[in-house]
Chain A
Amino acid sequence: DSGVTQTPKHLITATGQRVTLRCSPRSGDLSVYWYQQSLDQGLQFLIQYYNGEERAKGNILERFSAQQFPDLHSELNLSSLELGDSALYFCASSVGGESSPLHFGNGTRLTVT
């Protein structure tokens, strides 16, 4: 168990809808990262937060947004969903230093029908 908690585990929704994925980092970790894993594109970095502030952005679509709250949990909001958004969404956390590795949650599997 990595200590990173993601909810829900599975999500099935229709095109055009909006969903929110939730992540609680490991105790003591200040950084949260979101990744998308799909069969055709592998693991893609979406966005990183550190202690409530956005730190880095990757291949995140404009339809997607995220935030990190004062208690350090994070939410990833996906809107105007398309079939191609079906994927595994992982949250990871780290202490935040240069050498600190990322610890991943078990992911949320999103299916858009």
Chain B
Amino acid sequence: GEDVEQSLFLSVREGDSSVINCTYTDSSSTYLYWYKQEPGAGLQLLTYIFSNMDMKQDQRLTVLLNKKDKHLSLRIADTQTGDSAIYFCAESTRGTGRRALTFGSGTRLQVQP
């Protein structure tokens, strides 16, 4: 079955690094995604990683994937107050003609000045 889990809340100080963690259960996941949701807005795609990669870096964002442990993390360097939002981890599942994303419950990141 498919299940994606995240911790609910993370608080950091401005300028520190944030690390948001996610675990998933479906070993046939092909792509894993990070989305950001600000209040009153839709989900904004931040980055994604193919399941045969270990790491992907994109400016202040670093994604680490441990496929053996089914663990995904998003590191935000030099976190700013504008990074305060809910961050969703999602996996792409392959099944009989189905390709949709399964989302975690989201991690609320609060950045304190």
A43→B103 contact, CB < 8 A:
yes
Q: Which residues of B contact A98 (CB under 8 A)?
A: 30-31, 92, 94, 99
- Cα-based distance from A18 to B31 in the complex (angstroms): 36
- Cα-based distance from A102 to B46 in the complex (angstroms): 11
Show 27 A/B contacts (Cβ-Cβ < 8 Å), sorted by A: A2-B42, A4-B42, A33-B100, A33-B101, A42-B103, A43-B88, A43-B106, A45-B101, A48-B98, A48-B99, A55-B97, A55-B98, A55-B99, A56-B98, A56-B99, A90-B42, A90-B43, A98-B30, A101-B48, A102-B45, A102-B101, A104-B35, A104-B42, A104-B44, A104-B45, A106-B40, A106-B42
Residues of chain B touching chain A, judged by Cβ–Cβ distance below 8 Å, are: 30-31, 33, 35, 40-45, 48, 50, 88, 92, 94, 97-106
